[in-house]
Structure 1
Amino acid sequence: MFRRENAGDEGLLPKNTDNSFSTDVLEESSDFTAFLAGAELKQDDSSPSLAADCPAVSQSPSNHNEDVTTDSWRSRRKHVFVLSEADGHTIVFLQKGPLMLVSASKSHQSELQLRSELLHVYHQIVSMLTQASINRIFQHRKNYDLRRLLFGSERVLDTLLDVMETEAGFLLSAVQCLPLAPSARDALSQILQKAVTPNLVLSILLINGQLISIVQEKMVIEDARLKPTDLHLLLNLIRASSAFQTGEIWTPICLPCFNPDCYFYTYVAYLDPPDCTVCLVLLSTDKEAFHALAECKRKIEEGIRTHNALQCISKAQQCQVHHVGVAELSHFLFKPLDIPDHHSQLPQFTSPDVEAPYSTEEEQIYLMDLYWHLHSRIHSTSRPLKLLYHATQRETLLAWVTGKFEMYACFSPLVTKSSAIGAVTKLLRWIKKEEDCLFIRSPLKYSTTPPEARGFSNGRVQPNRQDKSDSSVLSLL
């Protein structure tokens, strides 16, 4: 693929002094292309012949109109495509092992951002099949049609593509927590901490895609902690399949950023049927642990009833932009960067509910496009910025990155740069005041399994490799 740059095009073809192409030039160009079309390929007799090594090259003009769906077209040794920018798309390629992923986008995202989206799609496929299985399949059959294994997973991938359009967690590589009083969150975390069993690695409590609480086995060390991408993919898988709302589900799930070649055995159950908003996810390295984890769920439900925690969760108020007390502020994204490393917590962000004038899905995508644009400018590989002020006819935006935070704020139009910075200062004060409610500052841990026990090796959690008896998560879709 050739990319035409704006600068330098003027010297490619001769021009008249009035900057328009002359009739003579067009006629000469036509004569030249006609000459090329009728030219014969001549070979120096002294040159070695390649006829025995290469497919025959036909000079028939009919090749120009050959049907690209035919076997003869597909069998040709090489194809070269020349594209122009007139289509208005950015085309990005990503090769991961035997798979080639392609994005053709009309959005405002940069090539780096589009490539990140393709990587999420690849990781979602890996979460269902594992990377080792994919590589093994294509080592045996390079022309294998992977759609056969992914049959029924179309909704998972479609949902992923949809949520990446509107959810800021993918932009910021972070997860969002439900705003909750620290005492209530601590009580829920302690309930999870007490309901454990050998080889249980992670206990996660979620509501509508937001994190309520997470506790983890102490053996989950630095290079084996849960990554935001893994949680996003896990959430998307649960959200995309109605099977998870039917009862207790036990299925192998791969967390690609944790270990792309192995499965965790995952217990998923909603704690508030039939609403199905509060979801419990337990991950184990033991494929026979279903009944043990079901007992953990029973203990958690008992603890939640004792503390009346479901009512507390339902009453938790989602962050609203008017809580900040800045009249000009329409929306914001905030990600703290100064979290002590020993907390071993997931990167998190906070953001208010999207309100008018961005209430519809179309307007939310428009707003996210603006954030994607600011993000690409701030994190430009050629010219990174710390502060960016951007004004449109409909809104004014400010992006600001320091060693302590990354922020994107959207204001009403006509707000000046100095006014925007002053408003952001007020916003930062409000976030500092509410940070214990907005973020999980010190996640709890537990210890259930000695290092020499099954599932642990050299101090690291080792998910189990799928054997032939494992039922794939695809059976749920």
Structure 2
Amino acid sequence: MSSESHSDQFHLPTLTSSLFDPEEDSSIHDPNGVVHGSSSAHSQPSDDVSIRAHTASSQPSTPSSSGYVAEIEDVALQNEIQELSIHGDDQYIGKPHRSDEDDASISWRKRKKHFFVLSHSGKPIYSRYGDEHKLAGFSATLQAIISFVENGGDRVKLVRAGKHQVVFLVKGPIYLVCISCTEEPYESLVEQLELIYGQMIVILTKAVNKCFEKNPKFDMTPLLGGTDIVFSSLIHSFSWNPATFLHAYTCLPLAYATRQAADAILQDVADSGVLFAILMCRHKVISLVGAQKATLHPDDMLLLANFVMSSESFRTSESFSPVCLPRYNSLAFMYAYIHYFDADTYLMLLTTSSDAFYHLKDCRIHIEMVLLKSNVLSEVQRSLLDGGMRVEDLPPLPRFGSSQLGQNRLQLDSPDRLREPNSGIGGDAGLWHFLYRSIYLDQYVSSEFSSPINTPQQQKRLYRAYQKFFVSMHDKGIGPHKTQFRRDENYVLLCWVTQDFELYAAFDPLADKASAIKTCNRVCQWVKDVENEIFLIGATPYSW
């Protein structure tokens, strides 16, 4: 129990599954249809509990904006939440292998991280694990907690139960909840819920809210039928994709001339009425061109790429699908022509016209011809095999001569003389990995993992360390910070934020501070030297 000051206790009523009305409701037309080839037909895709509540401002690590944070006192409910995922892991990409689980299943309770989506009437919409319909009673309990606090004129944002956090996000008639014991910051979990909601909007648009206005008991589940893999893939990316917390996208490394050739042909297409033309290799951008005054938010790019890559049907034939870009216009569909050139490389052409399939097909044929003629596709495959920047290849920083970094140089906070870096496992001074984000371009580059970080578990651990570092650097309550240096049993972590870029670097835990600082300056110079190959330099900056 927290020792901090609290407001008066309040009691929740007994929560039962009777709060959930299983009555079937009418549904709206499924917008998640996909047109394949030239076809015009669409395919369907217990107990009383006592909670002490206090305002967020009473605890430094809680949400900074208004809303209630709660510490659960009731031992039974606390154990109920803690048992959810004490021993399990969250490395499964999807849930179909255990879709028969419910809240009474031991395997379901052992998961480390749950995500739930439900309606304001308590109807389950999505659950990361288990069968949504078998979790109706649990969803009703979550809905009752939210409603009880809202009826008191406030909103619940976070409940702590031992090592577990229960994070709530209310989006009109749609409630999203995360129950986690992964020690991720509250801010990170909220952003993950925001992305899950955004993925839902990609499929349905925000206009689905009108259905709840007409019928509060509206059942949204049929509209999301067959999209479990899309949400599972997005949730899995929370453990490996820096774009999910950096709000930036990454590019496939390519020679400047190769990228220019791709840019030129996509620009021709954009001038012919296409709103966005995007050439991708897996989750990395090869080229992105937008019509005049049209900008694509990095989160929209992330959600759109996840939607395409996790849907197997897009790989088998050219497709024309309605999609919504939440950051661009959350209330309307646009239409995406999607075509895979090979197993990894695909083209997305977005338009506002619902009858533009044949025009976009002609555009794709022209684009493919030019890409083959200019060897862009073969260069893409070569880059994919070569990989990205490696810490072992970090070039030395010239001892004399002008540096392109200018004033942006990281300095020691003491007069100690910089020692020459010791060569360690990974890179110089024991550099293991780095993450560099260009603030102006909203793009990032991540080095390949070096030998000390060669297992998925180690990579996830570093990813989450970066996640915490990012939240700490941007904490509006005590920051933002310009630099941080931390050492623990796993790494030395050094972060540096300027008006132009952010750098996050991981070193051997025995690395010394002077060498780490010198190495970070070399990394920044290296990125600057090769920026034409790793960034879309001509991309429009985003003001959001």
The normalised TM-score by structure 2 is 0.64
Question: What's the CA shift for 1:7?
Answer: 4.5
User: Does structure 1 residue 420 correspond to structure 2 residue 516?
Assistant: yes
User: Does structure 1 residue 293 correspond to structure 2 residue 360?
Assistant: yes
**2:324/2:334 contact within 8 Å kept:** yes
The match for 1:234 among 275, 290, 304 is 304
Residues 157-196 of structure 1 aligned to structure 2 (within 5 Å): 157-196=231-270
Residues 350-361 of structure 1 aligned to structure 2 (within 5 Å): 350-361=445-456
Residues 138-149 of structure 1 aligned to structure 2 (within 5 Å): 138-149=212-223
The aligned counterpart of 2:475 is: 380
**Separation in 1, partners of 2:357, 2:312:** 20
The aligned counterpart of 1:282 is: 349
**2:191/2:245 contact within 8 Å kept:** no
The aligned counterpart of 1:5 is: 2
CA 1:6–1:323 in structure 2 vs 1: closer, same or farther (change >3 Å)?
Answer: farther
User: Does structure 1 residue 129 correspond to structure 2 residue 199?
Assistant: no
Instruction: Give secondary structure in 2 for the equivalent of 1:258.
Output: helix
**Separation in 1, partners of 2:196, 2:287:** 26
Instruction: Give secondary structure in 2 for the equivalent of 1:303.
Output: helix
CA 1:188–1:79 in structure 2 vs 1: closer, same or farther (change >3 Å)?
Answer: closer
Instruction: Give secondary structure in 2 for the equivalent of 1:350.
Output: strand
**Separation in 2, partners of 1:166, 1:200:** 32
The aligned counterpart of 2:192 is: 117
Question: What's the CA shift for 1:443?
Answer: 3.6
**1:197/1:292 contact within 8 Å kept:** no
**Separation in 2, partners of 1:432, 1:89:** 42
The aligned counterpart of 1:32 is: none
User: Does structure 1 residue 335 correspond to structure 2 residue 437?
Assistant: yes
User: Does structure 1 residue 208 correspond to structure 2 residue 304?
Assistant: no
Question: What's the CA shift for 1:280?
Answer: 0.4
User: Does structure 1 residue 302 correspond to structure 2 residue 369?
Assistant: yes
The aligned counterpart of 2:83 is: none
The aligned counterpart of 1:432 is: 528
- Deviations along 1:380-433, whole A, 9 cap, x unmatched? 121112111111112111111111211110011111222211110111111111
- Deviations along 1:175-226, whole A, 9 cap, x unmatched? 0011111111001111222245743111100001100001111142xxxx10
**1:204/1:282 contact within 8 Å kept:** yes
The aligned counterpart of 1:258 is: 328
Instruction: Give secondary structure in 2 for the equivalent of 1:149.
Output: helix
Structure 2: where are the runs of 5+ without partners?
Answer: 10-135, 150-155, 396-426
- Deviations along 1:25-56, whole A, 9 cap, x unmatched? xxxxxxxxxxxxxxxxxxxxxxxxxxxxxxxx
- Letter aligned with residue 246 of structure 1: T
Higher share of residues assigned helix: 1
Structure 1: where are the runs of 5+ without partners?
Answer: 13-67, 340-345, 445-477
Question: What's the CA shift for 1:323?
Answer: 2.1
**Separation in 1, partners of 2:461, 2:223:** 35
- Letter aligned with residue 324 of structure 1: L
- Deviations along 1:282-338, whole A, 9 cap, x unmatched? 00111110000000000011101211221111122322222224421111110122x
**Separation in 1, partners of 2:206, 2:144:** 31
**Separation in 2, partners of 1:362, 1:144:** 41
**2:390/2:447 contact within 8 Å kept:** yes
- Letter aligned with residue 101 of structure 1: L
**2:282/2:344 contact within 8 Å kept:** yes
The match for 1:397 among 493, 500, 517 is 493
**Separation in 1, partners of 2:531, 2:252:** 12
**Separation in 1, partners of 2:256, 2:242:** 24
The normalised TM-score by structure 1 is 0.72
**1:245/1:269 contact within 8 Å kept:** yes
- Deviations along 1:257-290, whole A, 9 cap, x unmatched? 0000001110000112xxx111100001111100
Question: What's the CA shift for 1:363?
Answer: 1.8
- Letter aligned with residue 286 of structure 2: I
The aligned counterpart of 2:229 is: 155
- Letter aligned with residue 406 of structure 1: E
Q: Determine which structure has more spread, i.e. the larger CA radius of gyration.
A: 1
User: Does structure 1 residue 96 correspond to structure 2 residue 171?
Assistant: yes
